[in-house]
Structure 1
């Protein structure tokens, strides 16, 4: 890995730490998205990661930001209009080039949105989260992946930005897990689960990363919140909604050994 400032994903994902992070994230996404059902699923950004490959929804798409310019973690092909299929998208899916802060989808029309490191490249993460909330259906799921600022990787990134040698590719400051939780709760989401991973120190050598693999199990048990990467799953709640269906009146259950009290009519018959 070069000593220069790395802000593009294609260069970083071929490095040992990049492969290390993407392998963990791909494994987590494969496990989580396979249990999410519906009709429409979107991945916002980062085409180097196939976030929806294990999801079985009939309509899956990759949405890439055409407005982010050089800070995007991919190369925008010149002359390509929004909605062109096949550019960067896996086979059988379509890709849409647009401004992620103004998604071209109807409100409450998407069942699942995955944002892998998308908030770290957008110029307005709050607005992007509001757009995700707008297009998600009630009870739709939002999955966010990002680098954990409260980790050894986050500390090295902070020092690297001062010295001009950042360690991870991010156009803006890393977003702390606790701050992200506050943001999504303010938008009406319920946090479903959170998971951390990649506990090895921020090293650039494949050899040294392999030597510290024992820290994966140890970190997951002893210091779970200090993983280099986090994944958050949240569910959109719409307050005031209630499920409509037939009412079932439960009959009173008698305690064992008790009989119903005799009614007045029953007493009259015995007299």
Structure 2
């Protein structure tokens, strides 16, 4: 998939997200992202793609940006969301310094990117040690994934046709190679692949049933990962350290001599 095709596929996703099924996905992802990002702290965070969702709405970092592929989208974001906007015309070459971001959110970017591996490499580059990345994707191992597979044969796609959906095990392998350790995975949207809001609402009971009985078969997944750097570990401030046992057992006379 070249960059032009990638651009067209992202536009197709934009249109699909306005459908009843798209609204269903957006509502679940917004709720899950709000919960995930609320307690992630730092200074700099960026959401790449999918401007229909404000993935950083619940996050309290002082600097938050939205990266988009089209200037028109960026202008709309500046007006509607009133937040800082950074234009990233190529997600595979992010205009940020290495180890400068605390959080990166990728909602449905990898499956519509021309070079998903390169996008992940760029994310790893710009994240600080222990920085965090959150990835949203469509799950091929779901009723929606099966419906999409049948649709490619019958030419009646349910999801955007240009998307190359990535299985969760495959994504975990990619993350592991980049020392991005998975923290937790979340699945949602268990209703069958209906096209109308009425039928999607009728099967809303499947959301709780799916979480309980077939949790890995949700139509959408969200993966939360942390950048691990070998040989590094976080330590607390020096004043939190208690005196060692050896120091506490030094005789008083010896301590006085040491002062002299």
TM range (shorter): 0.7 to 0.9
Aligned to 2:46: 42
Q: 1:55 aligns with which of 56, 59, 62?
A: 59
Deviation at residue 9 of structure 1 after TM alignment: 2.8
8 Å CA contact 1:86, 1:93 repeated in 2? no
* Structure 1 segment 32-181 matched on structure 2, within 5 A: 32-65=36-69, 76-77=70-71, 86-89=75-78, 90-169=81-160, 171-181=162-172
Other structure's SS at 1:35 match = coil
1:251 aligns with 2:245: yes
CA 196–147 in structure 1, closer or farther in 2 if over 3 Å, else same: same
Unaligned runs of 5+ in 1: 66-75, 253-271
Does the C-alpha gap of structure 1 residues 30 and 155 become closer, same or farther in structure 2, counting only changes over 3 Å? same
Asked if 1:234 is matched to 2:218, the reply is: no
**Residues 147 and 158, structure 2, Cα contact 8 Å, conserved in 1:** yes
Q: Is the CA contact (8 Å cut-off) linking 1:188 and 1:238 kept in structure 2?
A: yes
Alpha carbons of structure 1 residues 187 and 149: separation in structure 2 relative to 1, 3 Å? same
Mapped contact 1:98–1:104 kept (Cα < 8 A): no
For the pair shown, which has the larger CA radius of gyration, 1 or 2? 1
Verify the 8 A CA contact 1:7 1:171 in the aligned structure 2. Answer: no
For residues 137 and 6 of structure 1, the distance between their equivalents in structure 2, rounded to whole angstroms, comes to 28
- What secondary structure is seen at the aligned counterpart in 2 of 1:156? helix
Conservation of the 8 A alpha-carbon contact between 1:113 and 1:142: yes
Unaligned 5+ segments in structure 2 are: 1-8, 247-260
- Cα distance, 1:250 vs structure 2: 4.6
Q: CA deviation at 1:170?
A: 5.5
- What is the CA–CA distance in structure 2 between the aligned matches of 1:95 and 1:108, rounded to whole Å? 17
1:178/1:45 Cα in 2 relative to 1: closer, same or farther (>3 Å)?
same
Q: Who is 2:195 aligned against? A: 204
The number of aligned residues is 233
- When structure 1 is superposed on structure 2, of 23-32 and 155-164 the one drifting more is 155-164
CA distance in 1, matches of 2:83, 2:145: 37
Correspondent of 1:27 among 16, 27, 31: 31
SS in 1 for 2:245: coil
SS of 2:88's partner is: strand
In the TM superposition, residue 97 of structure 1 has moved relative to its aligned partner by 3.4
TM-score, structure 2 as length reference: 0.84
Structure ranking higher in helix proportion: 2
TM-score scaled by length of structure 1: 0.80
Q: Structure 1 residue 249: deviation in Å?
A: 5.1
**Is 1:224 aligned with 2:215?**
yes
